[in-house]
Amino acid sequence: MVSQFTQGQFDENVKRTLGVKPTLKMTQVGSSTVKVAVWDTAGQERYRAPVNYYYDAVAVVVVYDITSRKSFEDASKWLEEARGNADPGVVIMLVGNKSDLGNLRVVETKRAVRTEEGALFARKEKILFAEISAKYTSQVEGAFQTLLNSLHKKYAVAS
């Protein structure tokens, strides 16, 4: 998802992120050009991001795999960790990934989490929600634009 947003590239054979890897991108938000720093942390327990990566974060994106019920259930833990370590005003977005696989009839790739389920969870938690396929630039861009527009609105009002 991060490489699709920052470089417009998707690689099905990409290895999981180990540790934390920052990436920068210049993008439009409203009438302004802004520099976005994205820190890609691994989503597995054994690669847990050190809590200091949450300091100074203005947004957190929690991603789950729509074909994995466990991944969706783990999103609650990641959300709790983010809320416990980031500033109280951080903007959080829940993203269901692999929407391109969700409607296939192949058993291994069957949708395990309905869109409505993810949206309802996000609504209850008062966070943003998107469902995407990291394969498609427009979907990834759309999710990040929603997040960036929310940040722009929040900080434009605050200043």
What total of structural domains would you count in the chain? 1
Q: What's the pTM value of the predicted model, to 2 decimals?
A: 0.84
pLDDT category at 105 given cuts 50, 70, 90 is low
What percent of the chain is helix, strand and coil (3-state, nearest 5)?
40, 25, 35
Listed residue (104, 131, 132) closest to 117, CA to CA: 131
Query: Residue 107: pLDDT above 50?
Result: no
Domain containing 136 — which CATH number? 3.40.50.300
Residue percentage of the chain with pLDDT more than 90: 40
Domain interval for residue 20:
2-158
Residue among 64, 126, 120 nearest 90 (CA): 126
